[in-house]
């Protein structure tokens, strides 16, 4: 069928293009999108070539909410009219037949998505707003890191970088009862961190981060989450750990080797954790359950809501560094 999708071309220009997607196969469903969530981390690493999941042109996006419009014969558990959250698109071509790399292709007015055991669609829990629900991956990613490293009630956690992933760590660690210190250079992000449960915030553009952390946590933090994804931030973040503490590589650092000084973590005998992805269906269900109950106020992180027709301009501004005020954002496709 024909539909619309946000396409990123090799010159990093964006357009809302006419595309074709296949009819749903036996184990697939066709979904009409309501909202798709924008990740300004991994998505733009793909767009800038810092990661590669396929050649240009690309259709990015890996989180959306929509309404089921057609169901394959073997797609049990779903019916036309169901509201679902989903991550993937099985295939797409431009009108002239050019293949589009779906990475993973949720920024589209329609999606054909497969009932994969790890990445398949699920019914959206009642009580989850459509727009907030479409940003389910980032809080799940943060939950993976917190679950793996297991900070305890009596411990102090430092979150180095209060973007969407860092804020997810803040929220999940706060629910556990940890003392949470959030660090960023943007005051607006730190204010959101406070609302999500941070006990202390440090503005790295104005304050001596290391001195402030040592004042709040003498000897260093029990667990430090590096959530910027910036290689130059790894060393300073490691320095905030206490001896025998834990360090979580919560960001995605792209292709190539990862240089950092060996002796500081070696001397402190740190344990390191390497969370990846969003923990699949169990973690997604957990964060959406918490959003529905009000325990996770994830709507606080959504700073921009744009119509699909305006999305190429908006994504282009993010890519050019014009929009520095974005934490999470959503594209509105239909009602």
* C-alpha distances in Å from residue 106, one per residue of 32, 124, 171: 11, 16, 26
Structure tokens belonging to residue 77: 């558990």
Strands (E), 76-199: 83-86, 93-94, 101-103, 110-114, 122-123, 156-160, 179-184
Query: What per-residue confidence (pLDDT) applies to 255?
Result: 86
Q: Domains (ranges, CATH) in the chain? A: 2-124+297-332 (3.90.180.10), 138-273 (3.40.50.720)
Mean pLDDT, the chain, rounded, equals 96
- State the pLDDT at residue 64: 98
What is the rounded CA–CA span in Å between residue 331 and residue 306? 5
184: DSSP letter: E
Q: How confident is the model at residue 230 (pLDDT cuts 50, 70, 90)?
A: very high
- How far, in whole angstroms, is CA 71 from its chain's centroid? 28
3-state secondary structure of 198: coil
What CA–CA distance (Å, rounded) separates 244 from 197?
Answer: 26
Work out the average pLDDT over 228-242. Answer: 96
* Mean pLDDT, rounded, for 276-291: 96
pLDDT tops 90 at residue 324: no
Please give the share of the chain, as a percent, with pLDDT higher than 90. Answer: 95
HSE, CB side, 13 Å, CA atoms: give it for residue 294: 0
Q: Answer yes or no: are the C-beta atoms of 250 and 230 closer than 8 Å.
A: no
Q: pLDDT value at position 94? A: 98
Instruction: Please give the biggest Cα pair distance in the chain.
Output: 63
Segment 246-250 mean pLDDT: 98
pLDDT of residue 163: 96
Report d(CA 156, CA 163) in Å as an integer. Answer: 20
Of 13-22, 250-259, 267-276, minimum mean pLDDT range: 250-259
Q: Alpha-carbon torsion 308, 62, 136, 319, what sign? A: negative
| Distances in whole angstroms, Cα of residue 280 to Cα of each of 41, 118, 125, 136, 254 | 19, 5, 16, 11, 21
Q: Which residue has the tokens 């669609």?
A: 121
**Residue with token string 């949470």:** 180
Q: How far apart are CA 248 and CA 100, in angstroms?
A: 34
As a whole number, mean pLDDT of residues 211-235 equals 97
Mean pLDDT of 5-34: 97
Q: Are 301 and 167 in contact (CB under 8 A)?
A: yes
pLDDT at 259: 83
Cα distance between residue 300 and residue 167, in whole Å: 10
CA dist 155 and 176 (Å) reads 10
Judged by DSSP in three states, 135 sits in: coil
Lowest mean pLDDT among 37-51, 137-151, 203-217, 291-305: 37-51
Calculate helix-pair angle for 164-175, 187-195, nearest 10 degrees: 30
**pLDDT tens digits, residue range 73-93?**
989 999 999 999 999 999 999
pLDDT surpasses 90 at 254: no
Q: How far is Cα 5 from Cα 312, in angstroms, rounded to an integer?
A: 10
| pLDDT of 256 higher than 90 | no
Structure tokens at 331: 């594209």
Is 90 exceeded by the pLDDT of residue 26? yes
The pLDDT of residue 97: 97
Determine the average pLDDT of the residues in 127-146. Answer: 98
Phi, psi of 26 (to 5 degrees): -55, -45
* Residue 183, pLDDT above cutoff 90: yes
Cα angle 185, 287, 153 (rounded to 5 degrees) comes to 70
Could you tell me if 187 and 327 are in contact, meaning their C-beta atoms sit under 8 angstroms apart? Answer: no
Residue 106 has pLDDT above 90, yes or no: yes
Q: Would you say residue 288 has pLDDT above 90?
A: yes
Q: How far apart are CA 301 and CA 161, in angstroms?
A: 14
- The pLDDT confidence band at residue 239, using thresholds 50, 70 and 90, is very high
In this model, does residue 113 exceed pLDDT 90?
yes
């Amino acid at each position: 069928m024909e539909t619309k999708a946000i396409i990123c071309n090799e010159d990093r220009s964006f357009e809302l293009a006419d595309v074709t997607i296949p009819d749903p196969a036996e184990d697939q469903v066709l979904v009409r999108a309501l909202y798709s969530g924008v990740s300004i981390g991994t998505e733009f690493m793909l767009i800038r070539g810092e990661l590669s999941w396929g050649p240009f042109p690309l259709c990015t996006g890996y989180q959306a909410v929509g309404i089921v419009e057609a169901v394959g014969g073997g797609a049990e558990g779903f019916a036309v009219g169901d509201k679902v959250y989903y991550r993937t698109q099985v295939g797409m071509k431009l009108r002239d037949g050019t293949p589009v790399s779906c990475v993973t292709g949720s920024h589209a007015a329609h999606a054909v998505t497969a009932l994969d055991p790890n990445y398949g669609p699920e019914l959206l829990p009642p009580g989850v707003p459509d727009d907030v629900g479409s940003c389910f991956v980032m809080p799940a990613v943060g939950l993976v890191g917190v679950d793996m490293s297991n900070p305890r009630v009596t411990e102090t956690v430092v979150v180095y970088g209060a973007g969407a992933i860092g804020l997810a760590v803040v929220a999940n660690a706060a629910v556990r009862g940890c003392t949470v210190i959030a660090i960023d250079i943007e005051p607006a992000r730190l204010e959101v961190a406070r609302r999500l449960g941070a006990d202390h915030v440090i503005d790295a553009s104005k304050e001596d981060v290391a001195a402030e952390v040592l004042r709040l946590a003498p000897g260093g933090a029990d667990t430090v989450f590096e959530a910027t994804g910036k290689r130059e931030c790894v060393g300073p973040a490691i320095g905030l750990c206490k001896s025998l503490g834990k360090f979580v590589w919560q960001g995605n650092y792209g292709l190539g080797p990862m240089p950092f000084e060996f002796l500081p973590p070696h001397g402190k005998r740190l344990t390191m954790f390497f969370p990846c992805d969003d923990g699949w269906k169990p973690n997604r269900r957990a964060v959406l359950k918490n959003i529905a109950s009000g325990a996770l106020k994830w709507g606080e992180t959504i700073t921009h809501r744009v119509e699909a027709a305006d999305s190429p301009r908006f994504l282009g501004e993010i890519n050019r560094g014009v929009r520095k005020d974005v934490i999470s954002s959503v594209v509105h496709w239909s009602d």
